[in-house]
Amino acid sequence: MTAAGDSSGWSAGEPPLDCVVFMLVRDGHVLAEKRKTTRRLAPGAIALPGGHVEAGERLEDALRRELDEELGVVAERVAYVCTLLHRAQEFRKLHYFAVEGWRGEILNQEAEALLWVPLDEPTALEIDVDRTAVGEYIRLAGSG
């Protein structure tokens, strides 16, 4: 599934910034972060964690690196969910992955706080594309 927002102001010469976003899912909840107020993008927002894909990096490698950097865990069961376009300071192409199994204890290494949001209450997430991705995860999980 791919969704696009308002494209005004987007130059065709500037491709969107690739990012990976992960949904750690356990017991009907998804792990979210309260972003630090010092963050440039969405300071203080409740959002799904993730990060930039480095030049030449495969999405799966970026996902594993970001999981280690942000939460100190190693993914064991990962499923691609969707890719959504989001306009922040620049256009971002957000690649969402569900992580339903991992090794290690979750450590908060970058956020103000971590919290478990019920999958059936995605309105707790303050970024619209995150809510859309959770809805897509629920749809895919229900169809399989």
DSSP state of 17: E
Read off φ and ψ for residue 112, nearest 5 degrees: -65, -45
Residue 78 confidence (pLDDT) above 80: yes
pLDDT, tens only, 50-71: 999 999 999 999 999 999 999 9
First to last CA, the chain: 16
**d(C-alpha 18, C-alpha 26), whole Å:** 26
This prediction's pTM = 0.87
For 5-63, write each residue's pLDDT tens digit: 433 444 555 788 999 999 999 999 999 999 988 877 778 899 999 999 999 999 999 99
Using the predicted structure, report yes or no on whether residue 3 has a pLDDT greater than 80.
no
Q: Looking at the domain assignment, is residue 4 inside a domain?
A: no
Residue type, 87: R
Q: How many CA atoms lie within 13 A of 42 on its CB side?
A: 21
Provide the domain limits for residue 83: 16-143
Considering the domain boundaries, does residue 22 fall inside one? yes
Residue 83 lies in a domain: yes
Total structural domains within the chain = 1
Residue 1 lies inside a defined structural domain of this protein: no
Specify the residue for token string 């629920």.
138
Which CATH number goes with the domain that contains 108? 3.90.79.10
With respect to residue 10, please indicate whether it lies within any of the assigned structural domains.
no
Alpha-carbon Rg for the chain, nearest whole angstrom, is 15
Q: Answer whether residue 9 is part of any domain.
A: no
